[in-house]
């Protein structure tokens, strides 16, 4: 088998072998999020606490008062926007007195607390957002052009830009895990949920965290594939010069 065909065969096989478990994890994580949220959205918490009130309680417990809490459309579209200091809660969370709603809302409040206390990873993530957006838009174009024109320089720049997405996913992990930890500590400390209900909220947040792990692995795997292609092309060029 010619070297270039062997190199491509090796890259593709390494990628496929690693891709299968990552895909399985991604699908399983999404199923866990949907299943856990659906299950604990049927369980009303004993205090009748809505997501909005839970978020407010977490903020108050951490001495954060300049954050608004508003409803937003969509399913699981909950997020904190630091630009207007607002927690946006989806329709199934904002006014729902369920175990799942309390867990999700408390998690988003945890992000607001992170910004309020200057948590370093979330400040780093915010700082690299513009670069990440640039990288995600330009990397695919440069990688494709580099492949078609056989330009290693353009291909390498494409890899470096794409790597920003992987770095962003890596930084996101401690941010999300920390927000969930803050949420659960506040829920338990403020007595927002009973012990058995807290277990349900923990399962919802744990399932959501798995999706971020899967996203990181998928991005890292794609980056590895590009690097292997780049190294294979370099080896072929080096072999041609000898």
Catalytic option among 108, 176, 188, 234: 108
CA-angle at 22, arms to 155 and 179, nearest 5°? 95
Q: Is 56 designated active site? A: no
Residues known to be catalytic? 108
């Amino acid at each position: 088998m010619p070297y270039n065909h062997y190199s491509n065969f090796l890259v593709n096989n390494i990628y496929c072998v690693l891709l299968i478990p990552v895909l399985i994890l991604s699908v399983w994580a999404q199923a866990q999020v949907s299943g856990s949220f659906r299950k604990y959205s049927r369980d009303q918490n004993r205090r009748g606490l809505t997501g909005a009130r839970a978020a407010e309680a977490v903020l108050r417990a951490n001495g954060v008062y300049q954050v608004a809490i508003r409803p937003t459309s969509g399913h699981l579209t909950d997020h904190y926007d630091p630009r207007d200091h607002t927690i946006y809660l989806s329709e199934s969370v904002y006014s729902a007195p369920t175990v799942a709603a309390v867990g999700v809302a408390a998690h988003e409040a945890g992000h607001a607390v992170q910004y309020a206390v200057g948590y370093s990873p979330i400040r780093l993530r915010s700082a690299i957002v513009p670069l990440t957006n640039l990288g995600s838009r330009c990397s695919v174009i440069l990688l494709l052009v580099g492949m078609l024109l056989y330009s290693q320089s353009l291909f390498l720049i494409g890899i470096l830009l794409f790597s920003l997405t992987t770095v962003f996913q890596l930084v996101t992990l401690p941010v999300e895990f920390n927000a969930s930890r803050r949420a659960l500590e506040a829920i338990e400390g403020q007595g927002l949920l009973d012990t058995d209900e807290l277990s349900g909220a923990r399962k919802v947040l744990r399932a959501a965290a798995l999706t971020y792990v899967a996203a990181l692995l998928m991005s890292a795997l794609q980056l590895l594939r590009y690097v292997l292609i780049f190294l294979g092309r370099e080896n072929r060029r080096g072999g041609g010069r000898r």
